[in-house]
Structure 1
Amino acid sequence: MEAFFAAAALSFGLIFVGEMGDKSQLMAMSFAARYKLRSVVIGLVIATGLLFAVSVGVGATVGHLLPTDWIKLAAAILFLGFGLWTLRGGEEEGHQVKERKSGLLTVIGAIVLAEFGDKTMLFAIGLGSQYNPWGVWLGATAGMVAADLLAVFAGAWISKKLPEKAVRWGSAAIFIALGLVLLAEAVPRLLP
């Protein structure tokens, strides 16, 4: 039991610090400004739990086989699409209700794709190969959720203080910027 708590504490600390200022925090802030808070929080918990379950399960021995550059390329395209989709507007009431219903799946998909192959996933792979895997999973999941919740609450606060159009343009800018960064990381590695 001591090994479980040690693994959980170590994982929590490393992942929490590793997430500060990371793209998932920017995404969480943007999602919180656009979707229902409950959908964003549940989406973060599900995505993070899945992500770290895969990370810990994979372990360090097969981590080098994952095609992370292709996953980054897919994530880049997805973020550019999110950015353009966000810019399209749709301030009528029916559109906003429809958007909010789709927020949960959007959050889950975006977080999993953006974080797949990221440093926190690699941390969890390494920790999972050396420490109690259940402790690593719990600590890593809690650490990322805690770090991203800071951004979620900031995004929710911002959405109440700024006009909807400013939130939409800011969210679109974040998504497009993240898409361009991921594209810049993935494409050079994929070209011969």
Structure 2
Amino acid sequence: MEAFFVSTGIVALAEIGDKTQLLAFILAAKFRKPVPIIIGILVATLFNHGFAGALGAWLTSLASPETMRWVLGLSFLGMAVWSLIPDKFEEDDARLARFGVFGTTLIAFFLAEMGDKTQVATVALAARYHSLWAVVAGTTVGMMLANVPAVLLGDRIANRIPVRVVHGIAAAIFAALGIATLLGAGKSLGF
């Protein structure tokens, strides 16, 4: 359960102000059909984070536990720094309207998540916790917790969220995970 809750919390916090959350705001304003947008976000996230989680699980089979401890610890510290850097949204991410609301959302979200900090976090969390399903479920729930309100409430909440504070909290959690991993907190997991 720890893998699920940590994954949910980290991704929900990291997603605030992220480019995919900005994409959710734009898609909601453009199409004004929340249900297909929410379903598109869910399906895209399941595919994207499922792949990322499988990659993380596979990576643990390639390296020794000691090497993985250092790689994961440094990765979490890197994610802490990355969380403090604001994302930029590219308008091309939302120019897929010919595929309909669901198709546009699915494609745009899947592509926007490629190499995004939440995808990288999913790789690291799956490698850290050895619990692919719990991590993918947690990161997906985290994405939905951050993006569904963006779709449903749009501009009414966009300016009320202190993005810098949320990013600081996410960075602190990533840093704590990195330090704990480097200090050997994952030894019971094989690191």
Taking structure 1 as the reference length, the TM-score comes to 0.59
C-alpha distance in 1, partners of 2:140/2:7? Answer: 9
Structure 2 counterpart of 1:68: none
Q: Does 1:15 align with 2:11?
A: yes
Secondary structure of 2:50's partner? helix
C-alpha distance in 2, partners of 1:81/1:7? Answer: 31
Structure 2 counterpart of 1:128: 126
Structure 2 counterpart of 1:149: 148
The Cα offsets for residues 76-95 of structure 1, whole Å up to 9 and x where unpaired, read as 9x843745x88xxxxxxxxx
What is the Cα deviation at residue 155 of structure 1? 2.5
Indicate if the aligned counterparts of 1:31 and 1:155 stay in contact, CA closer than 8 A.
Answer: no
Secondary structure of 2:146's partner? helix
Q: Pick closer, same or farther for the CA change 1:135–1:82 going to 2, 3 Å.
A: closer
Task: Give the AA of the match of 1:51.
Answer: N
2:103 alignment partner, one of 87, 102, 105: 105
2:53 alignment partner, one of 56, 61, 64: 56
The Cα offsets for residues 22-67 of structure 1, whole Å up to 9 and x where unpaired, read as 01111101111222111101101101111110110111738xxxxx
The Cα offsets for residues 83-118 of structure 1, whole Å up to 9 and x where unpaired, read as 5x88xxxxxxxxxxxx6x711000000011011111
The Cα offsets for residues 109-163 of structure 1, whole Å up to 9 and x where unpaired, read as 00110111111111100110121111101100000111011211123869xxxxx
Q: Pick closer, same or farther for the CA change 1:149–1:56 going to 2, 3 Å.
A: same
C-alpha distance in 2, partners of 1:47/1:59? Answer: 18
C-alpha distance in 2, partners of 1:110/1:125? Answer: 20
C-alpha distance in 2, partners of 1:81/1:50? Answer: 18
Indicate if the aligned counterparts of 1:52 and 1:121 stay in contact, CA closer than 8 A.
Answer: yes
Taking structure 2 as the reference length, the TM-score comes to 0.59
Structure 2 counterpart of 1:114: 112
Indicate if the aligned counterparts of 1:32 and 1:156 stay in contact, CA closer than 8 A.
Answer: no
The Cα offsets for residues 139-190 of structure 1, whole Å up to 9 and x where unpaired, read as 00000111011211123869xxxxxxxxxxxxxxxxxxxxxxxxxxxxxxxx
C-alpha distance in 2, partners of 1:18/1:125? Answer: 14
Indicate if the aligned counterparts of 2:36 and 2:102 stay in contact, CA closer than 8 A.
Answer: yes
Listed as ranges, the gaps of 5+ residues in structure 2 are 63-87, 158-191
1:24 alignment partner, one of 20, 23, 30: 20
Structure 1 counterpart of 2:30: 34
